[in-house]
Amino acid sequence: MPDAIGWQIATVEQVRIETPRVKSFKLTVEGFNRFRPGQHVDVRLTAPDGYQAQRSYSIASAPITPQTPGMTGSLEITVEVIEDGEVSPYFHDVVQEADQVELRGPIGGPFTWSVKQGGPLLLVGGGSGVVPLMSMLRHRSACDRDSVSAALLYSSRTLDDVIYKDELEQASAKDDLFDLSLTLTRERSAEWSGLARRVDAPMLDEVIKQLGEPALSYVCGSNGFVETVASLLVDRGLPPESIHTERFGPSGS
Ligand SMILES: Cc1cc2nc3c(=O)[nH]c(=O)nc-3n(C[C@H](O)[C@H](O)[C@H](O)COP(=O)(O)OP(=O)(O)OC[C@H]3O[C@@H](n4cnc5c(N)ncnc54)[C@H](O)[C@@H]3O)c2cc1C
């Protein structure tokens, strides 16, 4: 099996448009079998003049399990374009099926969850911060969802920016133990009558009331989002060691 942290060649098998600013990339990488939901990979691009840029991207797909065999050597990442960025616009505008990129991983320890750890499981994501949380939810529904209650509180700018919208809504409709709460901070259309503000204390109180006190919480998004939500969870009396955080970068607000 290839070195888990050495660079490997990944081939883009499929590109899927998720939202106007976000695409998912299914990658095949020889021997890439074992990862835990919440882990990420590093991706490295090399320009013709030898200049290299590397960035981290969370794994969006679920790992293989005895219940879901057959997906060895593949993973999915989901990339939001940052207009003045180096790597994400390349993914958004240039990368196509059959292209190759360099990748290493899986990477990351504390920000991981598997069904064996149980619940109740509280997931709070801002923008593309939903990506590693989606891996956890996909893993949960592939394995043993009957035994783990879970809630996702997901903050997006507008309805069009909600990544994995159909999949999340379908999961929440058919799974009594999964509760989805969306809040949209910049949606102005009459189509939206739900939560329409940044994540705050009353919102978390309501989600926790429905879920029951979370045994484990995972918070992912921009630096500012994660700081705010994690301290609100501590204020709600959750043990700090039960709160796991992953920061993707600056607040884009
Ligand atoms: C562990 C980890 C996992 C990550 N997973 C994902 C993922 O699943 N999907 C995803 O889209 N991104 C993810 N990121 C963020 C990603 O690594 C890059 O930072 C992001 O794609 C921007 O890279 P860039 O080269 O396009 O921009 P850069 O050239 O690095 O930056 C350009 C400008 O954008 C600002 N900027 C950089 N990152 C962000 C950001 N995240 N939000 C707002 N502004 C930013 C910079 O300050 C700078 O002003 C993850 C980051 C980490 C650390």
Q: Would you write out the chain's pLDDT as a tens digit for each of its 253 residues?
A: 444 579 999 999 999 999 999 999 999 998 887 899 999 999 999 989 999 999 999 999 999 766 555 556 899 999 999 999 999 999 999 999 999 999 999 999 999 999 999 999 999 999 999 999 999 999 999 986 668 999 999 999 999 999 999 999 999 999 999 999 999 999 989 989 999 999 999 999 999 999 999 999 999 999 999 999 999 999 999 999 999 999 998 874 4
Q: How many domains, the chain?
A: 2
Nearest alpha-carbon partner for 58 in 81, 75, 34, 74: 75
Pocket flag, ligand 1, residue 248 (CB < 6 Å) = yes
CATH number at residue 171: 3.40.50.80
203 and 150, same structural domain? yes
Question: With a 6 A CB cut-off, is 133 part of the ligand 1 pocket?
Answer: no
- The answer to whether residue 2 is domain-embedded is no
State the distance from the centre of ligand 1 to the C-alpha of 100, rounded, in angstroms.
Answer: 20
Question: Containing domain of residue 225, as a range?
Answer: 115-247
Is 252 contained in some domain? no
Q: Whose CA is nearest to atom 27 of ligand 1?
A: 85
CATH at 95: 2.40.30.10
Report the nearest atom of ligand 1 relative to the CA of 53: 25
pTM: 0.95
The answer to whether residue 3 is domain-embedded is no
Ligand 1 in contact with 23 (CB < 6 A)? no
Q: Is the CB of 107 under 6 A from ligand 1?
A: no
Q: What is the pLDDT of residue 73?
A: 87
Confidence (pLDDT) at 2: 47
Closest CA to ligand 1's atom 38? 249
Report the candidate in 152, 170, 159 with the shortest Cα–Cα distance to residue 220. Answer: 152
Ligand 1, atom 13: closest residue by C-alpha: 57
As given in the structure block, the two tokens for residue 168 are 């999340």
Shared domain check, 162 and 103: no
On whether residue 26 sits in a domain, the answer given is yes
Query: What pLDDT is stored for residue 210 in this prediction?
Result: 97
Is the distance from the beta carbon of residue 250 to the nearest atom of ligand 1 less than 6 Å? yes
Question: Are residue 126 and residue 235 in the same domain, yes or no?
Answer: yes
CA 220 to ligand 1 center in whole angstroms: 13
Nearest atom in ligand 1 to 90's CA: 26
